C-alpha cells in the first residue's frame, strides 16, 4: 500500500492554506497549528524544511511567518516528498499480497504496478491536485480538523 508520510500530509495542508491567503500575507506556524490541529513542533520542522527547499519564504519577527515563494502550479508532489521524507525510500510501502503469492511472476507484476503508481504520484502537480479535489474552501474547515 502506498502511503504519504505525516510530514508530507502536514505540508499539503499548510501549502493549500498558504495558496488561499492574500498575496504577500504571511501565516505563522502557530496559526496553522491551531487552525488544523497539527502539533506545532512537527509543523514547524516541516515548514523549515520547505523554506530550506525554496518552497516557502520565511520571515522572522512580529509580522513574520511563512508565505509561498511561487505558486502551487510550479510544485509536484514528488518534489514535496523528496524535500520532506526519508531519503532512503520514495514512498512507504507494505505488502501482504507478496506473502500469499510467492511466484516471481506475481511479485514482478506487483512491483511494476507499484513503480507506475509511484511515478504517477511523484508527477502530480499540486495545483492540479487541489483543483481536482472536491473539498470545501479551507476557510470553512472546522478548527478540529486533523490529518
Contact at 8 Å (CB) between 72 and 13?
no
Q: What is the mean pLDDT of each run of 10 residues along the chain (147 residues)?
A: 78 90 90 94 95 91 88 83 64 48 66 78 79 52 42
Is 146 part of a structural domain of the chain?
no
- How many domains are there within the chain? 1
The residue range of the domain holding 126 is: 2-139
pTM above 0.75, yes or no: no
Classify residue 31 by burial, with Cβ atoms within 10 Å: 0-12, 13-18, 19+. middle
The CATH number that applies at residue 134 is 1.10.10.10
Give one DSSP letter per residue of 6-38, joined into a string. HHHHHHHHHHHHHHHSPTT--B-HHHHHHHHT-
Is 75 part of a structural domain of the chain?
yes
Q: What residue ranges in 87-133 does DSSP mark as E strands?
A: 92-93
Is 145 part of a structural domain of the chain?
no
Is 91 part of a structural domain of the chain?
yes
Is 147 part of a structural domain of the chain?
no
Is 30 part of a structural domain of the chain?
yes
Amino acid at each position: 500500500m502506498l502511503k504519504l508520510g505525516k510530514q508530507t500530509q502536514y505540508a499539503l495542508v499548510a501549502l493549500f492554506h498558504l495558496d488561499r491567503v492574500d498575496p504577500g500575507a504571511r501565516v505563522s506556524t502557530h496559526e496553522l497549528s491551531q487552525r488544523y490541529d497539527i502539533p506545532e513542533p512537527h509543523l514547524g520542522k516541516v515548514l523549515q524544511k520547505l523554506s530550506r527547499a525554496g518552497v516557502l519564504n520565511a520571515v522572522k519577527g512580529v509580522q513574520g511567518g511563512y508565505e509561498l515563494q511561487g505558486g502551487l502550479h510550479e510544485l509536484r508532489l514528488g518534489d514535496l516528498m523528496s524535500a520532506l521524507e526519508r531519503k532512503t525510500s520514495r514512498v512507504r510501502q507494505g505488502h501482504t499480497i507478496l506473502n500469499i503469492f510467492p511466484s516471481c511472476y506475481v511479485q514482478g507484476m506487483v512491483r511494476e504496478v507499484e513503480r507506475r503508481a509511484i511515478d504517477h504520484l511523484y508527477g502530480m502537480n499540486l495545483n492540479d491536485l487541489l483543483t481536482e479535489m472536491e473539498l470545501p474552501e479551507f476557510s470553512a474547515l472546522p478548527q478540529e480538523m486533523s490529518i
